[in-house]
Each structure stands twice: as C-alpha cells, then as structure tokens.
C-alpha cells in the first residue's frame, strides 16, 4: 500500500526545518508529531526514517539531488523516503520523478570521492583519517551511518536474562544475548515496547550495550556509596543501582531538573530504593563538597560531542563544530576535577564519553593525571578481567560500531592512592 502524497510534502516541510540545524532533530520531529496526532504509526515511521536517512546520507543525497528537475529539497526528501520505505511505496510522484529515483538509487557509491562517501563533515573526516587511515575511517563512517539495533538491559533485581528472553519470545519478540554485557539483550526487530508488561513493570530498560558496559566497569558493589555525577535521565544510574542489588547509597547528580525529572518514572518502575536524585548548580556545588573523600565509586559520563551516537543522532555530526568541541574540553576537565574530590582513598573514578575524538578522551585523561598526583590509571584490561567481561582492551575502553556493534564509547578508570 502506497503512502499518501501528503507524507512527501510533510517530510519535506520538516526536513527544511531540521536542516537549519538550530536544535536536535528528534525534538523537531516530536513536536511535529504532537501537532499532527492523526498520523498513523506507519506514516510516522516513514517520515522519521526518511528524515534520518537524509541526515545519515546528507553529503551523497545533496550531490544526487543537484541533478534532475524541480526543487532540490523535494528530491532530497524523495531519496530519504525511498531509502526508508522503497520508491514503490511513495504516492503522488510524477513519471519523471520515478525515473529519476530509479536511476539515482542505482548509482555505485564506491565510485564517489571518499569524503562524500563518508557522509561526514570535512573536519571530522580529516580527524578520523589521521587516526585510522582512509580505509579505517570509511569503515567507521559506514558503521556510524547505519541505524542502531535495539538493545535492552535486564533489571536483574526483578528477573534473569533467561526469564526475560522467554517472556519476549511469548510476545512474540525475537532477541539474542549481547556478546559483552552479561545483562543485555539485542532485539532483532524494533517492536513497540512501551505496552509490554516487561517494560511497564520495570524488568527491562532500553540501553545500548556500550552504555551497559560503562556501568559494568564502575564495579559498584553491595553496600557502597556511589555517585553517578552526570546522571541525565538515569540509564546508567539504574544499571548501577541494580549492580548494587538495591543496597548502599547511590546519588544521581545532574544540573538539569528536566533531565532528573525523566529519571523519576524509570526509577519507580525499576523497584530501586537506593537511588537519591540530587539537583546541583555546577561541579563545585556545596552538596558535592559535603561528600569529599567519602565515596567509593564515581562515574563521570561527561558532556561531550556525542559523535559516538551518530547511529541514533545523525544530525549531531552536522551540528557539532571544532569550536564546540574545544568549549566542551574545558568543561570536561573542570567536571572531572570536581567529581574527583568525592573519591575516598582506594576508591575509583570512571571518566567516560560517547565521543570518538582523542581530545575529549585520551587528552582529558592525560591532563587529569598531570594535575592529580593522588590518582593512578587502572588499565582497562584489569578492570574488564575483574568484571569477567570478555573484551580485548589495553589502558582504555574504546568501543566503536564498526568493531563492537555498539555506540562509540570511551572510558578510563582511576584509583585514588595515598600520598606522602
């Protein structure tokens, strides 16, 4: 069954707005869907996937849309929708548009220039090529330009992974165990989970396997005092609380009341009672100073460029800039230093980002260690062995979609030592 012609028009309208890059694409889409409640799930899905298809393939589609007749934006829209649902599903196309689509979609992309093929901005492509070589950069770009799978974290205080797999199969929803996270499942399609009793009752949470591993390497234990320093909506907070088996005390700090508000319904579903959300003004808030030297483990999932999440947020690569990254570096150093004060002697501090850039990752670690003689780096190889995670790493956790089928993540673990 073909989509009505109005879907093409609506998608073009939203795309025009999103390509101004004044804000996140998902927010613009959500607002449009709220304003058009009569759209069915099929239409919503086609519009969203069409938009994300353009954002993932913007360099190529921009070049392709410069051929043919008519408005360029309409041709970009057609390419996005055709890639998402197939050209045969689009209603209201002229014969000329249909012929142009068929021809354009058959172009061999391997013949295109590397930068265009990567669908990355020049500055980011250059950085990846400098580190990975052109072939490695193109492989990473290709993986970043694929839609992400749907990963779930099993809430182990309510159910085992096997029990959840069985319940999903009865739904019926096919899932497989994640290769690295011991509490993860990868759903083979993308069903609506919100109405499942498993979700409503807090037995599962949507969480990328890489994010699950970040919580795992914190190593939070029963009865400890733990801080999730940049908790946001609390995905890792909930994973930490479950790892602690709902004992001890887990603080969820964030500077955004709106983000912490999103944690509350998830917390209620989870069954956790050891989590304490705390709104802070900044990384030097008095609430943090009161915990100086008292905390066993601190996770700093720092504000970052988000370039490791391009599978889910492809607009980020077009909105982020070198200047923006430099501004984030200042925040990252300051936040890590603020969080470090809470760690007690023998305690651990985990610095993490969802970035692929060395200046947000290794460079921050180097700067931190140079300024904090009372902390040492714990090799990630040792941390993963402690946690029985079968993953080959050296000093740092470095996950990529091309190698590990996760979002791009970086993490380093520090331990506070006694100083003379």
Q: What is the mean pLDDT of residues 33-45?
A: 92
* CA quadruple 198, 200, 203, 209: dihedral sign: positive
Nearest in space to 144 (alpha carbons), one of 120, 110, 163, 177: 120
Mean pLDDT, the chain, whole residue set: 95
- What is the structure's pLDDT at 68? 77
Q: How far is residue 398 from each of residues 183, 214, 277, 347, 349, measured CA to CA in Å? A: 20, 11, 29, 23, 17
Residue 300: both structure tokens together? 């700093």
The secondary structure of residue 348, as a DSSP letter, is E
Residue 299: both structure tokens together? 């996770």
- What is the structure's pLDDT at 98? 92
Report the interhelical angle of 235-243 vs 257-270 (nearest 10°). Answer: 40
Q: 277 - beta bridge partners?
A: 252
Nearest in space to 122 (alpha carbons), one of 142, 141, 147, 94: 141
- What is the structure's pLDDT at 194? 87
Q: Please give the Cα distance from 68 to 331 (Å, whole number).
A: 47
- What is the structure's pLDDT at 263? 94
| pTM recorded for the entire structure | 0.94
Predicted confidence (pLDDT) per residue in 71-102, tens digit: 999 999 999 999 999 999 998 899 999 999 99
Res. 338: pLDDT tops 70: yes
Predicted confidence (pLDDT) per residue in 176-222, tens digit: 999 999 999 999 888 889 889 999 999 999 999 999 999 999 999 99
Res. 1: pLDDT tops 80: no
Degrees (nearest 5) of the Cα angle 103, 106, 112? 110
Is 347 in contact with 420 (CB distance < 8 Å)? no
Q: What is the mean pLDDT of residues 39-51?
A: 93
Q: Please give the Cα distance from 416 to 224 (Å, whole number).
A: 16
Predicted confidence (pLDDT) per residue in 389-409, tens digit: 999 999 999 999 999 999 999
The secondary structure of residue 148, as a DSSP letter, is P
230 is catalytic: no
Q: Please give the Cα distance from 233 to 256 (Å, whole number).
A: 10
Predicted confidence (pLDDT) per residue in 216-250, tens digit: 999 999 999 999 999 998 999 999 999 999 999 99
Res. 2 pLDDT band, cuts 50 70 90: confident
Spell 114-148 as b/e; 16+ CB within 10 A means b.
Answer: ebbbbbbbeebbebbbeebeeeebbbbbebbbeeb
- What is the structure's pLDDT at 67? 86
Res. 118: pLDDT tops 80: yes
Res. 420: pLDDT tops 70: no
- What is the structure's pLDDT at 195? 86
- What is the structure's pLDDT at 191? 87
Which of 354, 380, 384, 412 is an active site residue?
354
- What is the structure's pLDDT at 294? 97
């Amino acid at each position: 069954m073909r989509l009505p012609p109005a879907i093409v028009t609506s998608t073009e309208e939203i795309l025009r707005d999103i390509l101004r890059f004044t804000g996140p694409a998902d927010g613009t889409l959500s607002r449009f869907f709220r304003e058009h409640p009569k759209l069915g799930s099929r239409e919503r899905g086609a519009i969203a996937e069409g938009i994300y298809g353009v954002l993932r393939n913007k360099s190529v589609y921009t070049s392709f849309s410069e051929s043919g007749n008519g408005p360029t934006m309409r041709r970009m829209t057609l390419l996005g929708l055709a890639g998402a649902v197939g050209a045969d599903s689009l209603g209201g196309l002229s014969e000329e548009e249909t012929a142009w689509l068929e021809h354009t979609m058959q172009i061999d992309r391997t013949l295109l220039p590397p930068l265009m093929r990567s669908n990355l901005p020049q500055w980011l492509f250059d950085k990846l090529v400098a580190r990975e070589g052109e072939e490695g950069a193109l492989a990473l770009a290709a993986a970043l330009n694929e839609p992400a799978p749907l990963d779930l974290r099993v809430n182990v205080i309510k159910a085992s992974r096997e029990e959840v797999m069985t319940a999903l199969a009865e739904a019926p929803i096919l899932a497989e165990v994640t290769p690295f996270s011991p509490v993860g499942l990868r759903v083979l399609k993308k069903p609506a989970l919100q109405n499942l009793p498993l979700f409503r009752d807090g037995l599962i949470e949507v969480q990328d396997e890489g994010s699950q591993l970040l919580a795992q390497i914190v190593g939070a234990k029963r009865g400890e005092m733990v801080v999730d320093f940049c908790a946001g909506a609390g995905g890792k907070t909930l994973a930490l609380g479950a790892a602690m088996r709902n004992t001890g005390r887990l603080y969820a700090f964030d500077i955004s009341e709106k983000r912490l508000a999103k944690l509350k319904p998830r917390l209620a579903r989870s069954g956790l009672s050891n989590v304490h959300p705390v709104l802070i003004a900044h990384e030097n808030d008095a609430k943090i100073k009161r915990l100086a030297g008292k905390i066993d483990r601190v996770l700093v999932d720092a504000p970052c460029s988000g370039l490791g999440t391009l599978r889910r947020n492809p607009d980020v690569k077009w909105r982020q800039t070198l200047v923006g990254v430099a501004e984030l570096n200042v925040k990252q150093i300051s936040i890590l230093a603020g969080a470090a004060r809470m760690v007690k002697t023998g305690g651990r501090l985990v610095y993490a980002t969802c970035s692929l850039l060395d200046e947000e990752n290794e460079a921050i670690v180097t700067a931190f260690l140079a300024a904090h003689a009372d902390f040492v780096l714990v090799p990630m190889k040792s941390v993963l062995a402690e946690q029985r995670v079968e993953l080959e790493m050296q000093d740092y956790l470095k996950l990529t979609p091309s190698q590990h089928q996760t979002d791009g993540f970086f993490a380093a673990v520090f331990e506070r030592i006694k100083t003379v």
